Structure 1
Amino acid sequence: MSRFRKLIEQAQPDLVGQDLSRPFEELGVDSFDLMNLRVGLERELGEEISDTQWTEFTSLAQIVSYCESRDGDGPTLYGINQDTEDGYVRRFELNMPQMAIESLSESWLFKEIGASHWELLCAGLGQRSAALADEMGNRLYATFARVRHDATQPLSSFEEAEDVRLSGEISRFGGGMYISRFELESLAAQDKRIVSQMITSFSRRGGEGNTNLVKSQPQVAENSITDLAQPPQFVEEYRRIKKGTQDTLGLGGMTLQLTDAIETEFEYELNPYHDLNGVGLLYFAAYPIIADTCEAQHFNAHAASGDTRWELRWSTLARDIMYYANCDITDTIVYRLHSHRIEGGRLATTASLSRKSDGALMAKVFVVKAERL
């Protein structure tokens, strides 16, 4: 057996014995799987496979054949730079721009860690964000795959004028996947911190609009970001949930059951001034706010007279978002609440966001909130 085929089967055991000449879609191989496989194959081959060549492949058999034909021809390009400084520290005083509903703003938190991730990424690649392009000159965008934060105390415990410190670091798996970890900790109170993790890859527009984003990777002279020998568990869990092979998720001290059942659904009309980013894509930081807006709309509509508004009753303790697609400015988003459970002063919800235009799943949103005292 070709060692390249063996590598593919080791990475994805469900492909053992399969006919690899079948199209990717028939084998259940998606763009995230291909990105993982590309890293392993390039390392085994000892050279990068150009984007021009990669986009021509329609089956794994073609990839194996190409690797066998190139075996031994290229230089080894991958290694771990132990001397690279992949992190930084910042300090903030929490004031009105960082606050919302008398607590730390989750929208600000997403934007801040996203910008910090992007800053570390560009520094490691030695490029300004606007200059990042693939080998064909296509503009590249950081595409978020997963963002998760876990707090020791709910966001409502953070107060105005409180000093906090944000520290972070970044690593990568090959040239196309970047993983970061940030910690926001209070300097005024012990054991009050938020640990955030995220995964991004790179995409280019494959045509008009935002619904056809194609995975790619930047063409840079040097990449100083530490290269991991294998994808971390955080990445592997994302893959299992996307594939439907994991049916529970631990979050905020609770176990969430992953289900497709629907308790309710709402349509959300995009607000371009708030929801879209500078390049016209639905901003990754808008996804949790859209989900929370629809969640509150549902529970406020079913509240008894005199009940505290939903937004004032609950504060985020942990959130995990898995991103799958984007949308156009003309699209409507369908929010679906799949489950909710209140237990011991905590609320766990599972939800999803989809495009109304074609039904494509855009994200899964998992949240645990604590009841405000």
Structure 2
Amino acid sequence: MSAALLDFPTPGPSVRDLVERAVDPHILLGMPHLNSSGLSETWLMKELGHRHWLMLARHLGLDTADFRTADGEEAYAAICATSLTAARFNVARANDILSIHSKLSAVSRTQTSTRHELSVDGRRIGTVELISTFVHRAIKGNNHSIARVTLPEPQGQRFEWSALAKNAADIRNGRLRTHFGIPVLAEKALRTFRFNPSISQEFNGAGLFYFAEFQALADRALENWFPSKGPVSRREVFFLGNIEKNESVLFDLIDCYSDPKTVYGQLRREDGKVIARMFNTCADGA
């Protein structure tokens, strides 16, 4: 009499285990994380956006970043402002270890901040802050109808002040007069760059133009106009809307100085709606 050997599959890691792995503070850098100048800012923003959403899910007591309104409708933790300061991404090389130490704080009933301190081999290479707010599509399938929505918040939550969140509110309400030393209300474009986003490359899994692609688009324009510009050392982006698939987006250069060390630009839809305002300071060029 022979006994059949049964092959029982080994249980895989739990979702909670995978979330903990995803927010591990250390990453071995390789080609996906780098560009010709060092650490890729576009990759970094996608990675930090992912960490932001997972940290927010844990903060709300969820196993995954599956956010829902009170009536079960899908909601998204949309990034509404980003800040990059003291960036020295040229330090990063393949096989270096990037350390990301992150902290989450609620800044209002509707907004959450995560702050990420970046270092390579003990050398600080920058700080990033992301501010998110929950949104949904007021009209199903329409990216122009993105609107804020309130989700249940933890009991006894304390709010922390954020200069980035305040500037974002002032940008939206027209209260911020100058930023990075440049008048904010001036909107006459010095130059305009037209871009046709790829549905398969620049839109995320929610069908929205990915927040990390806003700055990537602006860099394409600036590199086209100023080929010798240096890498960005400081950047703030304030997000005001989104675009539909198959819709063009335009980057307007509004003002710049120091040839062009400091730049203020805006992204707008074909209908003229401004969907982002962006302020950059670059290191010395080549």
* Alignment TM class, shorter chain as reference: 0.7 to 0.9
Superposition RMSD in Å: 2.2
Q: 1:185 aligns with which of 91, 103, 119?
A: 119
Larger Rg: 1
CA contact (8 A) 2:234 2:282 kept: yes
Match of 2:10 in 1: none
Q: 1:196 aligns with which of 98, 111, 128?
A: 128
Aligned length: 262
Q: Distance in 2 between matches of 1:359 and 1:261?
A: 12
For 1:359, what is the secondary structure of its paired residue? Answer: coil
Q: Distance in 2 between matches of 1:247 and 1:323?
A: 17
Match of 1:249 in 2: 179
TM-score between the two structures when normalised by the length of structure 2: 0.84
Q: 2:212 aligns with which of 285, 290, 311?
A: 285
The equivalences for 1:294-373 within 5 A come to 294-299=221-226, 309-310=227-228, 313-342=229-258, 347-356=261-270, 358-372=271-285
Task: Mark the CA change 1:160 to 1:131 in structure 2 (over 3 Å): closer, same or farther.
Answer: closer
Deviation at 1:129?
A: 4.6
Tell me whether 1:99 sits opposite 2:31 in the alignment: no
Task: Mark the CA change 1:225 to 1:126 in structure 2 (over 3 Å): closer, same or farther.
Answer: farther
Q: Distance in 2 between matches of 1:212 and 1:184?
A: 35
CA contact (8 A) 1:175 1:218 kept: no
For 2:117, what is the secondary structure of its paired residue? Answer: strand
Q: Distance in 1 between matches of 2:222 and 2:156?
A: 39
Q: Distance in 1 between matches of 2:132 and 2:145?
A: 17
Q: 1:160 aligns with which of 85, 91, 94?
A: 94
Instruction: Considering fraction of residues, name the structure with more helix.
Output: 1
Tell me whether 1:213 sits opposite 2:139 in the alignment: no
Report the AA paired with residue 149 of structure 2: S
TM-score between the two structures when normalised by the length of structure 1: 0.65
For 2:148, what is the secondary structure of its paired residue? Answer: strand
Tell me whether 1:113 sits opposite 2:40 in the alignment: no
Q: Distance in 1 between matches of 2:127 and 2:216?
A: 19
Deviation at 1:245?
A: 2.2
Task: Mark the CA change 1:175 to 1:245 in structure 2 (over 3 Å): closer, same or farther.
Answer: closer
Q: Distance in 1 between matches of 2:85 and 2:157?
A: 24
For 2:254, what is the secondary structure of its paired residue? Answer: strand
Q: Distance in 1 between matches of 2:242 and 2:69?
A: 20
Q: Distance in 2 between matches of 1:372 and 1:236?
A: 32
Match of 1:148 in 2: 83
Match of 2:202 in 1: 275
CA contact (8 A) 2:199 2:246 kept: no
Report the AA paired with residue 207 of structure 2: G
Q: Distance in 2 between matches of 1:224 and 1:161?
A: 43
Deviation at 1:360?
A: 0.9
Which stretches in structure 2 are left out of the alignment for 5+ residues? 1-22
For 1:131, what is the secondary structure of its paired residue? Answer: coil
Deviation at 1:184?
A: 0.6
Deviation at 1:123?
A: 0.9
For 1:297, what is the secondary structure of its paired residue? Answer: helix
Deviation at 1:291?
A: 0.9
CA contact (8 A) 1:154 1:369 kept: no
Q: Distance in 2 between matches of 1:224 and 1:91?
A: 32
Q: Distance in 1 between matches of 2:157 and 2:104?
A: 8
The equivalences for 1:12-91 within 5 A come to 90-91=25-26
